[in-house]
Amino acid sequence: MNNIMRTIPGKIIIYTMTCVMMLMALLTAGVAVGNYAAGLYEKTPEEVINDEVDSISYNAAHMILGNELDSMKESGEFEEDYDGYDYEEYDWAMSVADNYLYSIVDEKGKTLRESVNFDGNKVKYTYYLKADEKGNTKWHIEQMSKTKDDSNGKYITVKSYFDGDDGMPDMRDVAIRKKTYELLYKYQSSTIPLCVSSVILSIVFFVMMLCVSARRPKTEELHPGYFNKVPFDVMFAAAFFVGCVMMFIAAEAMEEEITIFMIVISIIYAVFVFNALCMSAAARIKQGNLFTNTLTFMVCRWCFKLAKIIVVKYIFGVIKWFFSLVVGIFQSIKEIINRFPLIWKSVAVFCVLSFLELMVVGITDGEIDNYIICWFLSRIVFFVVMCRFVLGLRGLQAGGRALAAGDFEHKVDTSKLHMDFKEHGENLNRISDGMVIAVEEKMKSERMKTELITNVSHDIKTPLTSIINYTDLIGKEETDNKKIKEYTEVLLRQSERLKRLIEDLVEASKASTGNIEVELAPCEASMFITQIAGEYEEKLNAAGLTLVTKINSGSDGAKIMADGRRMLRVFDNLMNNICKYALENSRVYLSLDVDSNVVITFKNTSRTELDMSPDELMERFVRGDESRNTEGNGLGLSIARSLTELQGGTFDIMIDGDLFKVVLTFPIKQ
């Protein structure tokens, strides 16, 4: 059954039945409403039409009386005063046929006006118009009534009837109404049941019509028809336009038959079009494009896109340009203000505050109470501003103090700072960040150099040891070739030198990074001087140098915390440096002084001109002999300084002309 209804013939049958049932429901509902409106449920058609004829007669009497009084007033036959009447309200009564006859009589029985062929025996309707009760002759035509009271007074009486066999107006409308009422009354009993049945059936067929819309037999896929591709609002507008044209034709028709015919056709057209639109709407709803498949939606979407483009591209562009201009102006003003020194900003603030205070004095007009209040409020504001600046300065001081102490992780909170204070805080934070990066880079570089030196030195030591051993073995072999002996000695000497260089390099690397174990113990400083003087006596004499030691009074017995083995290495490096670079036939001074610290001083006269700074001499691989003809590798001073610092001392170099001086300073062991 479902598949049959989904076929095209089935859809046509359901659609037709829906329209027929709706028309039947409208027709029966119209009949029921017509019966109720006409009062046919309480009266017979004859009674209803007689009531309408009475109403026509009553309104016609008003119209006729007004016209006749106007005519008599103009001719002088009626001199009394009366009010006007609403011609528009009773104008339709002029359509009464010529068979309406009347007679107008005053209170004395005098006939004022009368229709031709008027027969007093046929009078059916009598109306009375009474003068104003105040005694004057004011007449109110609209107060005409069908009854006359018993009180005395002046009256105008209108007697009338319809001249005809049936006593009805000679009007087409009345004849049609009479036939209509008789027809409505005839089908009165069956109207309501038929109307209810038609409504129920129309609902059933309407639901079936919506269900089969866009459906086909044996499938649940949607198959909308060709008309469903037409925008829904276009279809609705076209149908509405045709209906309006039909109603316009019905309203403007000259003949009543055409009007009735067009009204009936319009109702049928409306029902059929309504069901067709509902069927199409159901198909569109199932597809989900009821609103999207409309010309209105398409136009609105296009307008929205156009408006969006206009708003985004132009209006937002103008707004963005305006805000950019405002922000640029404020930024320029801020930049100009920031360029002024802090002192000038302070002077400007002071001048502004002074000017405001002067304005307050002028506004208060010498009233001391108001001035005191304003002064007190200004001091509160000044106190708050001052506290903010003081707190900001305190934060900057804390940041600078932490930075000076080496706490590079400390950050100045600039969220509550303003103007120069904020800029200064940001500078401190940038300095801190830069220092952290620099320290990290330096540590990374040092680690890389240390690792490189350690790894390379270890890799070199193994083949170098073999070279030294095999060179020594070659030198011990018996041979008559003196050149081989000479070459072997050179190889052995240079190999030993390279071995010392590697050992010094590793030691310098360990010393600079603190990887050397130092065992500190109380030691007499004078013992180091005595020991090193004895060890280097022959070497100094061979270099043509004279050692002069000086231990000041009170210095003998002074103790320092040192590692004896590391301290002797420091002295050994310094004395070797003196033997290599000191001027021949000169004196070398080694002294010990004690004040608040133990001070050990090495002095000698340089063999070559010293045209470099102490810091340059302290760098690795830097030698006092720029020609590099002497033995050495430029690591002695660096190792000595590192070892001194590891033992808690300081290592200083001083150059005065050709005088080279090294000062070692250690705290006194109490």
- Cα separation, 268 vs 27, whole angstroms: 11
Strand order in the sheet with 111-114: 111-114, 100-105, 155-162, 125-130
SS3 for 295?
helix
- Cα separation, 375 vs 361, whole angstroms: 9
Angle between helices 525-535 and 564-581 (to 10 degrees): 40
Helix (H) or strand (E) holding 387, with range, is: helix 368-404
- Residues of the chain within CATH 3.30.565.10 domain(s) are 516-667
Angle between helices 342-364 and 368-404 (to 10 degrees): 160
Question: In which residue are the tokens 């209804």 written?
Answer: 5
Q: Which two tokens stand for residue 657?
A: 């002309």
Rg (CA), the chain: 65
Is residue 429 within 8 Å of residue 410, measured between CB atoms?
no
Is residue 525 within 8 Å of residue 634, measured between CB atoms?
no
Q: Is the dihedral of CA 487, 492, 494, 498 positive or negative?
A: positive
- Cα separation, 140 vs 158, whole angstroms: 14
Q: Output DSSP code: residue 80.
A: S
- Cα separation, 373 vs 352, whole angstroms: 19
Which residues, including other chains, have CB under 8 Å from residue 440's CB and lie 6 or more apart? Answer: none
Amino acid code (one letter) for 92: W
Phi first, then psi, for residue 371 (nearest 5°) are -65, -40
Burial class of residue 415, CB neighbours in 10 A (0-12, 13-18, 19+): exposed
CA atoms within 13 A on the CB side of 427: 9
The confidence score (pLDDT) of residue 623 equals 46
Taking the CB of residue 278, how many other CB atoms lie within 10 A of it?
A: 16
Please tell me the class of the 516-667 domain.
alpha beta
- Cα separation, 291 vs 335, whole angstroms: 56
Question: In which residue are the tokens 């009949």 written?
Answer: 31
538-595 tens-digit pLDDT = 888 988 999 999 888 767 778 888 888 888 888 988 888 889 888 888 999 999 988 8
Taking the CB of residue 550, how many other CB atoms lie within 10 A of it?
A: 12
- Cα separation, 502 vs 607, whole angstroms: 27
Q: What are 23's strand-pairing partners? A: none
Q: Which two tokens stand for residue 126?
A: 């009598």
By DSSP bridging, strand 100-105 and strand 111-114 are antiparallel
Could you list the mean pLDDT of each consecutive 10-residue stretch along the chain, which spans 670 residues? 70 86 85 76 79 83 82 78 59 61 85 85 86 66 77 81 79 73 74 85 86 75 72 83 82 70 84 85 80 81 81 74 82 67 67 72 64 72 73 71 67 66 69 71 71 65 74 75 78 74 66 70 88 88 90 79 86 88 90 89 88 70 47 68 86 88 88
Amino acid code (one letter) for 506: V
Which residues, including other chains, have CB under 8 Å from residue 77's CB and lie 6 or more apart? Answer: 112
Which residues, including other chains, have CB under 8 Å from residue 47's CB and lie 6 or more apart? Answer: none
325-342 tens-digit pLDDT = 888 887 777 666 666 666
Which residues, including other chains, have CB under 8 Å from residue 561's CB and lie 6 or more apart? Answer: 520, 521, 522, 523, 647, 648, 666, 667, 669
Q: Is the dihedral of CA 213, 215, 221, 224 positive or negative?
A: negative
Question: In which residue are the tokens 């829906």 written?
Answer: 18
The confidence score (pLDDT) of residue 504 equals 65
Is residue 159 within 8 Å of residue 94, measured between CB atoms?
no
By DSSP bridging, strand 125-130 and strand 521-524 are unpaired
Q: Output DSSP code: residue 81.
A: -
170-224 tens-digit pLDDT = 776 677 777 777 777 777 777 788 888 888 988 888 888 888 787 777 777 776 7
Give, in order, the Cα–Cα distances in Å from 178 to each of 40, 161, 183, 187.
12, 19, 9, 15
The confidence score (pLDDT) of residue 505 equals 64
Helix (H) or strand (E) holding 369, with range, is: helix 368-404
Q: Output DSSP code: residue 131.
A: B
